[in-house]
Structures are given as C-alpha cells and as structure tokens.
Amino acid sequence: MSKNVLLVGNGAREHVMGETIKRSPQNPKLCVFAAIHNPGLMKLADAYRVAPLSDFEALKAFVEEEGIELAAIGPENPLGEGIADFLLSLGVKVAAPIKSLARLETAKSFTRDLLAKYDIPGNPLFRVFSDSEGMLEFMRDDLNGEFVVKAEGLHGGKGVKVMGDHFNSIEEGLAFAEECIQEEGKVVVEEKLYGQEFSLMSFVDGKTVVDMPAAQDHKRAFENDEGPNTGGMGTYSDANHSLPFLTEEDLKKAHEITVQVMQALEKDHDALYKGVMYGGFIATAKGVSLIEYNARFGDPEAMNVLPLLKTDFVSVLEAICDGTLDQLPVEFADQATVCKYVVPQGYPDNPVRNEKVSVGEIPAGVKVYYASVDKRDDGIYLSGSRAIAMVGIADTIAEAEKLAQKAVESVSGPVFYRKDIGTDELIGRRVQHMRSVRG
C-alpha cells in the first residue's frame, strides 16, 4: 500500500524534496502544506493545502483528512515553533527534530555552549553576552578586533555580521551587539575565521550520521562575492562528493563534529536528534571549524544533493524515524551540480514584488525549482524573495555551470542572477585562497 507523506513548506527546497519523494518506487501520495501556490509543487502534489505554516489547527485537519503517516519539514521557522512535536502527538512519524533539539539552529548560543560543554572540536573563541559588560574588551583585546556578531534567533541568514564586511569599527560592532541584546536578551560574539566555507548536510537518526555530498554556498548578492548577504545565490558540488579546495581529512573532521554533536544532544536532552543536520563549516589553517548548524536541508544545497540521491528517499525518511539508518545503504550519483538562483531586481534589501516572470526553453540536463513565486491564472509572479533555482547536472562542474547559466538566461522579467557561480575562475580563486591559508 502506498504511503501518505506530508511535506511542509513552499520554496525551491520543498520543490526538490517533493520531487524526490515522488521518485520513490513506493508510489507515495504527496500531501503538501504550503503558505503560497508554488507551481512546481502543485504539479507534483496529490493534495495541496494553503494556510500559514504556523496554523497547526489547519495542519491537524489536513493530516486527518489525508491520513498522513510520515512527514518531512522544509523550513526552519515551523521547527522552532514545535511542528515536529505537534505532528508526533498526532501519531505521525516525523523526519525532523523536536523543538528542544531544533535549537541547534534557532538559538545561536545553544550550539556554541553545547560544543564547549562536551569539549567538541570546531568551536572558535566565543562568548555569550546578556549585557555589554566586558564586550568591548573581548572584541578589542581577546579577538584583536577580528570578530563576528551573531543575533540569537532566526533572521533568515541576515543576523550574522562580520568585522570588515559589515562593520568598519569596533564601535559599530558593539552597537549592533547591543541591539541584539535589546531584542533577544543575548548575543554571541566570536572570532572571525579565515578560510573557505562549505556545507556538509547529513541524514541523522540519533545513532547514525550519513553524509550527503559537500556543497559550497554563495551568500553575497553580486558577482565576486560583493553586496549584501542573501539566503544564498547559488551553490555547486563536485562529482567526487568533495570540493576542489577540500581534503579528505577536512570532510572526516566535519563528519566527526556532527557525530559528537548528535551524541551530545542525546546526553543533554535525553532525546534523539532525527532529521537533517546541516553543518556550515570552514576549512582554516588550523583545521575545520564550525560556523553554525541548521536543523533542516539547506536552500540551495538541497537542490545540489537530492537530484543525485539514488536510494529511495521515502525509505531514508522512514529509517531516520525508525533509527535504522545503519541498515540502509544511502547512495548518491557521481555527478557535479551547479545551482544558480534567479532573484527579483533589488533583492535582498528592496526587491520588486508582484511582477510577472516567464521561463523560456530549458536545456536538457537542467532541473528547475520554483521558490518565492506565486502562481496566478495568467502566469507566475515574484513574491519578493529568491524566485527560481536552475540546477545544471553533468559529469564536471564546468559542464554543469554552462547548463545552469543557459537556463537562468531563459528567464525574462525584472530579475538578476550571479553569472560567476561554478565558473573555473571563481573556483580557481577559492583553491588558490585555500592554498595560501594552509601555507
């Protein structure tokens, strides 16, 4: 009998999750609970309900009407609001962490304190402040003016500010940190790390960690990593599941940190972390450090890895819930991917909204995932955030990049994208930079 699977969310990440669920040989019924009409998800779904993602009463009605047995959650906000706990109380299996463990993402100080308590490697020098006493001295003397300020809660990737990038002086950093304390009662100040960032997402059932291919995200809005931070303008991954600037040892270290964090969560909370643990890591001269964890698939990173998943995704979700990941061989195809996001003009600070866009001819070897767009009777309209993700899949990064670039060029309307993601030139600079960092 086919399974009834719930998918919560309505972005490009959920589009690729839905597609991967529908690829299952178990022929599942896909039931989507979304806040907007995502045209890609609507095509895939067997049942589609539109309501605010925080409306748990509407969710309960949908779960009961559709006989939901298994759930996957896309975005972080519902996790922070306890959606996994709520669904579990309805008797649904949930491949996502409960609220207390989702704090790995929803509370910046939680993760830093956890690593410190259990002496897990990867923590930079940091302090959590609930008032400004001693903050100036920590920034100036302990960190030599090289610091990062992290707002405590969820800010859509925009609550992290870095000296030299966002602040020109310690005073500016102090002022932002004080704002964060006023808003949320605490703030994390930590050392600025130098190296190359990478994303390593893992399937986790509380006992076993299974890594997905590594990817590299590009947060800055404009080419050459300039402009404001965004939710991510694009990503690439390599056919060998590593990245051109990483060593085998880097990936091993990142994996070990995730394993130890999973174990520490169980010790600390007497509960198993189930779902995706997405580590944002950085390779530095001293080894691998942890920038942050997310408690769900990355967006865009999900679009790099899920199209390559050869194992039945529904079986993976079930193994996460049942604690049997160690018995399931999880395989990914040996291909490279490049994802480029088409975004509204003015994104992220002042994006155009309610403008129509159209997608032209898409080359073979490209996947199209719809994000923050609204499907209306006469076409597709921009909602103000990242709009459409184009993913090139090929044997090499260079070939995948050409495909993705051709696809983004097919979109017409008031939009832009980064041409440089996945190019030989940009990746060459990253490799060169990492060589100089490692000395």
pLDDT in tens, 361-371: 999 999 999 99
Query: What is the distance between the alpha carbons of residues 282 and 289, in angstroms, rounded to a whole number?
Result: 5
| Contact by Cβ (8 Å): 341, 232 | yes
Residue range(s) of every CATH 3.30.1490.20 domain in the chain:
125-191
| Contact by Cβ (8 Å): 110, 97 | no
CATH architecture observed for domain 4-98: 3-Layer(aba) Sandwich (3.40)
Query: What is the distance between the alpha carbons of residues 391 and 409, in angstroms, rounded to a whole number?
Result: 13
Residue range(s) of every CATH 3.40.50.20 domain in the chain:
4-98
The per-residue DSSP string of 297-343 comes to --TTHHHHHGGGB-S-HHHHHHHHHHT-GGGS---B-S-EEEEEEEE
Of the options 3.30.1490.20, 3.90.1170.40, 3.30.565.10, 3.40.50.620, the CATH number for the domain spanning 125-191 = 3.30.1490.20
Task: Supply the pLDDT for residue 158.
Answer: 73
Query: What is the distance between the alpha carbons of residues 194 and 179, in angstroms, rounded to a whole number?
Result: 26
pTM of the model: 0.96
Give the Cα-Cα-Cα angle 149, 150, 152 (nearest 5 degrees). Answer: 145
Class of domain 195-432 as given by CATH: alpha beta
* E strand or H helix that includes residue 402: helix 397-408
Beta bridge partners of 356: 381
| Contact by Cβ (8 Å): 212, 200 | yes
Q: What is the pLDDT of residues 146-156, one digit of tens each?
A: 999 999 988 87
> Residue 171 pLDDT more than 90?
yes
Q: What is the pLDDT of residues 64-111, one digit of tens each?
A: 999 999 999 999 999 999 999 999 999 999 999 999 999 999 999 999
Task: Supply the pLDDT for residue 271.
Answer: 97
Cα-to-chain-centroid distance, residue 226: 21
In angstroms, what CA-CA distances link 78 with 8, 9, 33, 53, 151?
9, 9, 12, 7, 19
- Please identify which residue in the block is written with the tokens 């993700």: 389
Question: Residue 356's pLDDT band (boundaries 50, 70, 90)?
Answer: very high
Nearest to 418 by CA among 148, 283, 242, 216: 216
Task: Supply the pLDDT for residue 209.
Answer: 98
Residue range(s) of every CATH 3.30.470.20 domain in the chain:
195-432
> Residue 193 pLDDT more than 90?
yes
Region class of 86: left (phi > 0), else alpha (psi between -120 and 50), else beta: alpha
Residue type, 212: M
Q: What is the pLDDT of residues 234-275, one digit of tens each?
A: 999 999 999 999 999 999 999 999 999 999 999 999 999 999
| Contact by Cβ (8 Å): 162, 192 | yes
Q: What is the pLDDT of residues 109-138, one digit of tens each?
A: 999 999 999 999 999 999 999 999 999 999
> Residue 1 pLDDT more than 70?
no
